[in-house]
Structure 1
Amino acid sequence: MANLKEGAIVKNGHEEGLKFAVSLLEEFGLPLGLLPLADVIEVGFVRSTGYMWIVQTKKVEHNFKIISKLVSYSTEIIGYVSKKKISKLKGVKAKELMLWPPVSEIIVDDPPTGKIHFKSLAGITKTFPVEAFAAGQ
């Protein structure tokens, strides 16, 4: 695990960690409300590989009201961030009927169409308007 984190920028504590996570979303063209975090312990990012991790004290469930979608964020979220995309994502699940399939990839259309796509390991892709994940939603 240590080698994945080699050369990382690490921010500790809720305020610094949250600011850093939001700045990464902004830098890579992702909606700022995509990661509604609580009690952040640590956020890290390795610029050379795009590897990112977030550690928080407890699991967070957030309801994105515009699309009526309940999403669960684990105590540890990891993935690879690049322009308009998070891949190999772990620690995020979206409720589908009675199931909680893990979200493995998030992609914002480029050039922009106003759409964002969530892929699960089962190969299911759900598409929503990007504004549903704006800050404060």
Structure 2
Amino acid sequence: MAEKEGAIVKQGHEEGLALAVSVFEEFEIPTGLLPLEDVIEVGFVRSTGYLWVVQKKKVEHKFQLISRLVSYDTEITGYVEKKLVKQLKGVKAREFLIWATITQIQVEEPPTGKIHFKAFGGLTKTFPVEAFAPGQ
């Protein structure tokens, strides 16, 4: 695929997760947004910001501080910029009785302690950034 040209690619859970975490840290995105298991591959194209994660199976994670269940598909892709993940695919959040597809994540700039999640169809939710700290 053309979008993967020039990518840094890491295979396996330890190396793949380390790459994903380092990209999120560099672009000031909370690393707790990556509760991944059995990562097969992670790739990042610095020139475009394209990031992909492939894991063996879907993962569901409950963010306790905000009581939200989030589902991470076997393949997650998006474009990373400073404090922003856009064109996100493979992440859904439980909202009432439906699963909403998350298309964008943005940390407020200047920092206010808030992070915004935009879902398919324009629905936006705002939460405290600390809800997505590592270990949450």
Query: What TM bracket, shorter-length normalisation?
Result: over 0.9
| TM-score, structure 2 as length reference | 0.99
Deviation >4 Å, runs of 4+: none
Measure how far apart 1:34 and its partner are: 0.7
Counterparts of 1:100 and 1:85, CA distance in 2: 22
Cα displacement string for residues 98-130 of structure 1 (whole angstroms, at most 9, x for unaligned residues):
100100000000110000000011100000000
Does residue 1:103 correspond to 2:102, yes or no? yes
Aligned length: 136
Partner of 1:17: 16
Counterparts of 2:76 and 2:30, CA distance in 1: 17
| TM-score, structure 1 as length reference | 0.98
Partner of 1:81: 80
Provide structure 1 residue ranges, at least 5 long, that are not aligned to the other structure: none
What pairs with 1:1-137 in structure 2 (closer than 5 Å)? 2-137=1-136
Alignment partner of 1:21: what SS? Answer: helix
Counterparts of 2:17 and 2:37, CA distance in 1: 8
Counterparts of 1:35 and 1:73, CA distance in 2: 9
Percent of paired sites with the same residue:
68
Provide structure 2 residue ranges, at least 5 long, that are not aligned to the other structure: none
More helix by share: 2
More strand by share: 2
Measure how far apart 1:35 and its partner are: 1.2
Cα displacement string for residues 43-72 of structure 1 (whole angstroms, at most 9, x for unaligned residues):
000000000100000000000000000000
